[in-house]
Each structure stands twice: as structure tokens, then as C-alpha cells.
Amino acid sequence: MLDPRDRAYVEAQADPHVREVMLCALTTYRMADVLAVGDPVPALSLARLGSDEAVRLDAPRDRPLVLIFGSYT
């Protein structure tokens, strides 16, 4: 299902070809299985900056863990 904000953005495009490409991209590459607040942490290992150590995200913790997924480029 397409997010209403995405649908509104696509429908606001004047060129029908642009709308078609955007709609195709949004429906093809959006993952239906997304994390929600309170979901278990995925079993991932991340390298620590400046170290050879790895951090397991699903390891037990004594404090909350916040995951921010995104691109900063």
C-alpha cells in the first residue's frame, strides 16, 4: 500500500510519464516489512569506528537502543 503522502506527491506531478516512473519506483522498492517502535532489534553486527570490534545490535542492553536508518549524502 502506498503512503498517502507519497501518493499526493506523485499525483501533484504534471507530467504523466514522471508520475508513472515515480509510482513504479515507490511500489517496487518500498519494503512492506518495516520496523516499528517497540519491534525487536534485527540481528545485525556493525563495525565500531576506529576499532576492529563489532557490535551486535540484538545483544542484551541495560539501556534503550535507537536505530536511525537514512542517507546523509
C-alpha cell belonging to residue 49: 569506528
Q: What is the pLDDT of residue 17?
A: 92
Quote the number of domains for the chain. 1
Q: Which residue has the higher pLDDT, 13 or 35?
A: 13
pLDDT of 23 strictly over 80: yes
Say how far apart CA 38 and CA 1 lie, in whole Å: 22
Say how far apart CA 17 and CA 19 lie, in whole Å: 5
Structure pTM?
A: 0.37
Give 28-59 pLDDT, tens digit per residue. Answer: 766 566 777 788 877 888 888 888 999 888 88
pLDDT of 2 strictly over 70: yes
6 is in which domain, residue-wise?
1-73
Q: What is the pLDDT of residue 12?
A: 92
